[in-house]
Amino acid sequence: MTTASVFSADLVGSAVVDAFGKLSPRALVRNPVLFTTAVVALLLTVLLATGTERLPFGFQVQLIVWLWLTVLFGTFAEALAEGRGRAQAASLRATQSDLVATLPDGRQVPAVRLRRGDEVVVVAGELIPADGEVIAGVASVNEAAITGESAPVIREAGGDRSAVTAGTRVISDRIRVRVTQEPGQGFLDRMIALVEGAERQKTPNEIALTILLVGLTIIFLIAVATIPGFASYAGGSIPVAVLAALLITLIPTTIAALLSAIGIAGMDRLVRFNVLAKSGRAVEAAGDIDVLLLDKTGTITIGDRQANELRPLRAVAAAELARAAMLASLADETPEGRSVLVLVREKHGLATGILPPDAEIIPFTAQTRISGIKGPGGLMQKGAVDAILRANPDAAASAAAEELRRLTEEIARSGQTPLAVAQDGRLLGLLALKDVIKAGVRERFAELRRMGIRTVMITGDNPLTAASIAAEAGVDDFLAEATPEDKLALIRKEQKGGRLVAMCGDGTNDAPALAQADVGVAMNTGTQAAREAGNMVDLDSDPTKLIEIVGLGKQMLMTRGALTTFSVANDVAKYFAIIPAMFVALYPGLDVLNVMHLASPHSAILSAIIFNALIIPALVPLALKGVAYRPIGAGPLLARNLAVYGCGGLVAPFVGIKLIDLVVAGLDLA
Amino acid sequence: MTIQGWMLIVLFTAIAVALARPMGAWLFALYEGRRTPLHRLLGPAERAFYAMAGIDPGEEQGWRRYAVHMVAFQAVLAAFTYAILRGQAALPLNPRGLAGQDPHLAMNTAISFATNTNWQSYSGETLSNFSQMLGLTIHNFLSAATGIAIAFALFRGFARREVGTVGNFWADCTRVTLYLLLPACIVYALFLVACGVPQTFTSNVDLTTLEGARQTLVLGPVASQEAIKMLGTNGGGFFNANSAHPFENPGALTNLVEMLSIFAIGVGLTDCFGRAVGNRRQGQALLAAMMALFLAGTAIAYWQEAAGNPVLHHLGVAGGNMEGKEVRFGIAASALFAVVTTDASCGAVNAMHDSFTALGGMVPLFNIQLGEIVVGGVGSGIYGFLLFAILAVFVAGLMVGRTPEYVGKKIEAREVKLAVLAIAVLPLCILGLTAASAVHPLGLAGPLNKGPHGFSEVLYAFSSGTGNNGSAFAGLTAATPWYDGWLAIAMWIGRFFMIVPTLAIAGSLAAKRFTPETSGSFPTTGPLWVGLLIGVILIVGGLTFLPGLALGPIADHLAMIHGQLF
């Protein structure tokens, strides 16, 4: 995202208008620091109107204008952040408003009248009127309205692909849907609320930060309110406007003005990333994750296994096994079957034969777990080792079976999946299928380790295979032969140890684990139960995104921390600008504290206030884009951010105030 | 500045740092309630105390109960001392026939000792031995033990996991008194006696000086009070001249040992904290930050005192500033003592801070305003420092992209709120009461000096009171209802309005889950953390006082450069 898009003309235009709308006391009071600033600005305005201050009129006017601008910049930042989500919300709302539902009896009613438990019928070409579960039929559905992905997806009754979302279009067939949401609480409604930031609740860290900002405001209020007493001892008095200027520059206006913009922008980034979080709390928790549970298939390995090697029994020639394996796979159209042909061609120089016309194809079934062909060359079988042995009881009793079992274990230990090959009931050997680790995952896991996050691979494989894949992929731990109950137990165990756990899942049986996890990302293709249980939904159904979600959560926290540190560090320079200006009339010697050599007391005060106001819009792009997160471990990250935002926060205002002072003095403004 | 001066400072620092480990080990045994070699001797006494008071030392208390028992205990003790001070004339061991204190003075004194402040609006010589021993010395022990008990409770907050309790106040208080303060003070007092400090019930000696004049020397059980005054960072002297008096501090050796004893328990508590949270480096990081602040303060104070006063230089008086200093100690030992006594909340003095140069005197003042957390008062130093650690972790901890954690505990809204509340007490009392005194006629009647120096005197008084230091800038007529009253309030608020939120934090932390440290956790050991901690302490804790300091010592200093003295 570029700065240009942050500040596109129409977004800025509408944000300016909204910024004024947010000046109402009721809206302002949500932000105590800005509220204080507004009260002070109002007080000075009244003092100016009544003419009670003994200061030059022009100076007072400028001071007041800049104070109000400080408040406006704050409301503007929030409005700008909200504005970016609003266009998206508008198109979603348009989709929602003209939804019509067809009841099973053929009556048509507006979608807003549907209640939980109602049933509707949707046919090709129609929009699905409400969130629900397919209870009969199968259809392909275009979910572009929600996900932006135009390739249709299959939705069918039963199983893990039964959830449908309001506003998506059925493009083939006819389905019967049971509504699962009350009106106004559907997915679309939630998405609209989210991108608009309307229902945004403060996250726990945001609340704590607000408390700190209020605390600092109170402390500085005490510091400033006691100055008149001190000054009277020294035989002088300090104008209210000058005290007000000191107060406003000291209280953390910068971070207070940008705080909600950071939160809204963080959620917005997530939405643009096609992930929907149900609360800001979940995004923040993502930053705190200690343990990441990742499903092996699809996340760590590509979905399909590849034939890797042939292991003939001692009494069998390699070429014989290769030929049998090739013939048994000729009719196998799965990627695994294709990879067998590639293997025998490339490693054993065997030309891929063509399927003999009179051959009988034995298809793979979940019951037999064997596939192959029966043709002129005889019966060629390929399948799970125990299935082949069961199908050939004579061979199972032979010495060859013993050898086969030994080889099986060897292959399993090397992280591969063994398939037995038999010809006419005689065992020939094994075919080793290898899981292919996705490119770059090893590096990603190393990165996560540096971030302090432990990765745990979840797989249905046996422990031997799982251990080998885990070692190859570089995950820290694995859970083999995992059932949903095992997953839940693992999450509970980690949480008991004080760690926060993230996982993703899609099936109904994942729902308990998704609900238990601190961050549960449900795949959009999953069941309604899973989508309800998770606290985020990934519209792209891409389990690797979990890693990016963690990064986004961290980025949001870091941006807050960086701007808070910057804001607090700024105070040093502001003290050195205003304190000498304030007291030089009482003790002329105090001019030595004017280390910036600001032109005059009035210009010093004005420059500090101007800097304090201008730094807000200057930091808006950073607040909206977020501080760059690098997975380099907490120590180096802290060193880097402290150097940039801590030391930068100390130095920047010295430079900034001096430059502004040159302009103010040059233009003779004070 | 001299080589000898710096050697003293280096020697002192080295011994103080070396004390951390053995003292920490001993404190940790008491923290855990383990048996020590002294239990064989004193165990029966401990059990007898519990039996008499009907206390079950194993009974765990939640933070509220702990706090209520602690405050009630201190309030009763303060009332007891008030009664003794008022009725001194009718009580025994008063051969000089001293009268009781005025109500406002007695209240001020009672609160002052109950809060470990030992601000003395009275002169030590006006109290009978009975008042000193029973009225004041018990506070010297019990207020110190209370401070350490609160620190223990906070340590438990960090160390415990998912429990609702922070220990037992009575057990903590008894163990610290019985197994640490009492035996250490007996040995310490004997050492002082060996060095020439009096320990006697004879309250005065009439003698004829070499010049033939008659003089009355006040004596008493000095050594025993001196020991706890230092070790417990109380600071209330037996004599008005405090540790500048030859009977309290006879020579160079006692001076060094007295300074070390101010820091001894404070540095030990940093190590004890590290042990309690299972990582001694955590304690070492705190000690490193404290020592950096201590050395910076010492360097400034020594430099300014050694540089002396340019106005006097023009008059031909060469050398550093010797006004208000004991010639026996000289500039380095006086500057060091002043920094030590204000870094800790001791308040004992061996030179008059009022007579320091403006900036030299600003160092003790600033130390107090930071909350006396640099090593600090026994217990109060480390819990004050930990409050800043909580704030520092919160401000900067977010920058590593995680909810801030400190030693395995998440720092959330409740802890931030309580820490800010506790820290805000300092500016509120110090600045608020100084401002009130700067405009009210009764307040304006206090300072003896004019101009910024007079202002410093008022600011110092309220800083010292609120921070529970007890040292005085002198030059302030404080024994008036205005100052007695407001200072008593400042001392009470400064002590208990800080302790109660601290205990609440302890309770809240104890109930939390432990978060194991990973490479993604915010690092709270190492130089980066030490630097950050110092930065937050100076900016959040220190900057608030800049306006006051500018109108006090800084203006005073600048005027001195221009040849004007106040």
For residue range A560-612, list pLDDT tens digits in order: 999 999 999 999 999 999 999 999 988 888 989 999 999 999 999 999 999 99
Chain A hits for B523, CB-CB cut-off 8 Å, are 634-635, 638
How do beta strands A306-312 and A477-479 pair?
unpaired
Mean pLDDT across A149-155: 74
Per-residue pLDDT, B385: 95
d(CA A312, CA A314): 6
Residue in A227, A580, A634 closest to B400 by CB: A634
Give me the domain span that covers residue B191: 21-207+214-276
Report how far apart, in Å, the C-alpha atoms of A161 and of each of A275, B195, B443 are.
Answer: 19, 89, 80
Residue in B401, B458, B555 closest to A287 by CB: B401
d(CA B27, CA B10): 25
For residue A141, which amino acid is it? V
What percentage of chain A carries pLDDT values higher than 70? 95
Q: Does B544 touch chain A (CB under 8 A)?
A: yes
A35 CA to chain B: closest CA distance, Å? 19
At A197, the pLDDT band (50, 70, 90 cuts) reads low
Chain A hits for B555, CB-CB cut-off 8 Å, are 234, 583, 586-587, 589-590
Chain A hits for B395, CB-CB cut-off 8 Å, are 212, 561, 564-565, 568
Token pair for A397: 């009793």
The reply to whether residue B400 touches residue A219, judged by beta carbons under 8 angstroms, is: no
Report how far apart, in Å, the C-alpha atoms of A79 and of each of A18, A197, B28, B261 are.
Answer: 6, 10, 54, 59
Using alpha carbons, select from A428, A436, A389 the residue that is nearest to residue A311: A428
Total residue count of chain A as it appears in this document: 670
A25 CA to chain B: closest CA distance, Å? 24
Can you point out the beta strands (E) in A275-318? 275-277, 291-295, 306-312
Q: Chain B: residue nearest A246 by CA? A: B547
Q: Chain B: residue nearest A592 by CA? A: B558
Chain B hits for A645, CB-CB cut-off 8 Å, are 399
User: pLDDT under 50 in chain B at which residues?
Assistant: none
Q: Does B402 touch chain A (CB under 8 A)?
A: yes
Using alpha carbons, select from B33, B96, B97, B25 the residue that is nearest to residue B60: B33
Whether the CB-CB separation of A277 and A85 falls below 8 Å is answered with no
The reply to whether residue B402 touches residue A449, judged by beta carbons under 8 angstroms, is: no
Per-residue pLDDT, A91: 66
At A526, the pLDDT band (50, 70, 90 cuts) reads confident
**Angle at alpha carbon of residue A618, lines to A614 and A621, rounded to 5°:** 150
Chain A hits for B493, CB-CB cut-off 8 Å, are none
Q: For residue B219, is it within any domain?
A: yes
Whether the CB-CB separation of B329 and B350 falls below 8 Å is answered with yes
pLDDT at A217 exceeding the cut of 90 = yes
Chain B hits for A629, CB-CB cut-off 8 Å, are 401
At residue A308, the 3 state secondary structure works out as strand
Residue in A205, A222, A587 closest to B452 by CB: A587
Per-residue pLDDT, A393: 85
d(CA A187, CA A192): 9
pLDDT at A1 exceeding the cut of 70 = no
Chain A hits for B402, CB-CB cut-off 8 Å, are 287-288, 554, 557, 634
**Angle at alpha carbon of residue B242, lines to B240 and B248, rounded to 5°:** 120
How do beta strands A536-538 and B204-208 pair?
unpaired
For residue range B461-503, list pLDDT tens digits in order: 999 999 888 887 767 887 888 999 999 999 999 999 999 999 9
DSSP state of A51: T
Chain B hits for A450, CB-CB cut-off 8 Å, are 519
At A492, the pLDDT band (50, 70, 90 cuts) reads very high
Using alpha carbons, select from B151, B446, B407 the residue that is nearest to residue B272: B151
Residue in A209, A224, A633 closest to B519 by CB: A633
A229 CA to chain B: closest CA distance, Å? 4
Residue in B161, B401, B554 closest to A554 by CB: B401
The reply to whether residue B403 touches residue A205, judged by beta carbons under 8 angstroms, is: yes
Whether the CB-CB separation of B512 and B162 falls below 8 Å is answered with yes
The reply to whether residue B434 touches residue A229, judged by beta carbons under 8 angstroms, is: yes
Mean pLDDT across A104-130: 86
The reply to whether residue B396 touches residue A642, judged by beta carbons under 8 angstroms, is: yes
Per-residue pLDDT, B133: 82
Q: For residue B200, is it within any domain?
A: yes
- Per-residue DSSP letters for A362-425? E---TTT-EEEEEETTEEEEEEEHHHHHHH-HHHHHSHHHHHHHHHHHHHHHTTEEEEEEEETT
How many residue pairs bridge chain A and chain B with CB atoms within 8 Å of each other?
222
Using alpha carbons, select from A287, A296, A285 the residue that is nearest to residue A516: A285
Interface test with A, best of B160, B399, B544 (most A CBs within 10 A): B399
The reply to whether residue A638 touches residue B400, judged by beta carbons under 8 angstroms, is: yes
Whether the CB-CB separation of A127 and A167 falls below 8 Å is answered with yes
At A377, the pLDDT band (50, 70, 90 cuts) reads confident
- State chain B's maximal CA–CA distance in angstroms: 78
Q: Chain A: residue nearest B439 by CA? A: A229
Domain count along chain B: 1
Q: Does B450 touch chain A (CB under 8 A)?
A: no
For residue range B244-282, list pLDDT tens digits in order: 999 999 999 999 999 999 999 999 999 999 999 999 999
Q: For residue B342, is it within any domain?
A: no
pLDDT at A280 exceeding the cut of 80 = no
Residue in A497, A554, A592 closest to B516 by CB: A497
Residues with Cβ within 8 Å of residue A165, at least 6 apart in sequence: A128, A131, A143, A146, A186, A187, A188, A524
Per-residue pLDDT, B22: 97
Q: A568-595: buried (b, 16+ CB within 10 Å) or exposed (e) per residue?
A: bbbbbbbbbbbbbbbbbebbebbeebbe
Token pair for A358: 């009179």
Whole-number CA gyration radius for chain B:
23
DSSP state of B513: P
For residue B56, which amino acid is it? D
Mean pLDDT across A637-641: 92
DSSP state of B211: T
B424 CA to chain A: closest CA distance, Å? 6
At residue A148, the 3 state secondary structure works out as coil
Q: For residue B264, is it within any domain?
A: yes
B165 CA to chain A: closest CA distance, Å? 19
Q: The tokens 């402290």 sit on which residue?
A: A642
The reply to whether residue B428 touches residue A498, judged by beta carbons under 8 angstroms, is: no
At A2, the pLDDT band (50, 70, 90 cuts) reads very low
The reply to whether residue B452 touches residue A209, judged by beta carbons under 8 angstroms, is: no
pLDDT at A95 exceeding the cut of 70 = no
Total residue count of chain B as it appears in this document: 566
Q: For residue B60, is it within any domain?
A: yes
Per-residue pLDDT, A200: 63
Token pair for B372: 């006396």
The reply to whether residue A451 touches residue B520, judged by beta carbons under 8 angstroms, is: yes
**Angle at alpha carbon of residue B286, lines to B282 and B291, rounded to 5°:** 140
d(CA A394, CA A370): 17
Give the DSSP H/E element, type plus range, for residue B430: helix B413-439
Burial class (CB in 10 A: 0-12, 13-18, 19+), A97: exposed
d(CA B462, CA B488): 10
Token pair for B196: 């020439």
* Catalytic residue set of A: 295
Q: For residue B126, is it within any domain?
A: yes
Whether the CB-CB separation of A418 and A412 falls below 8 Å is answered with yes
Give the DSSP H/E element, type plus range, for residue B281: helix B280-307
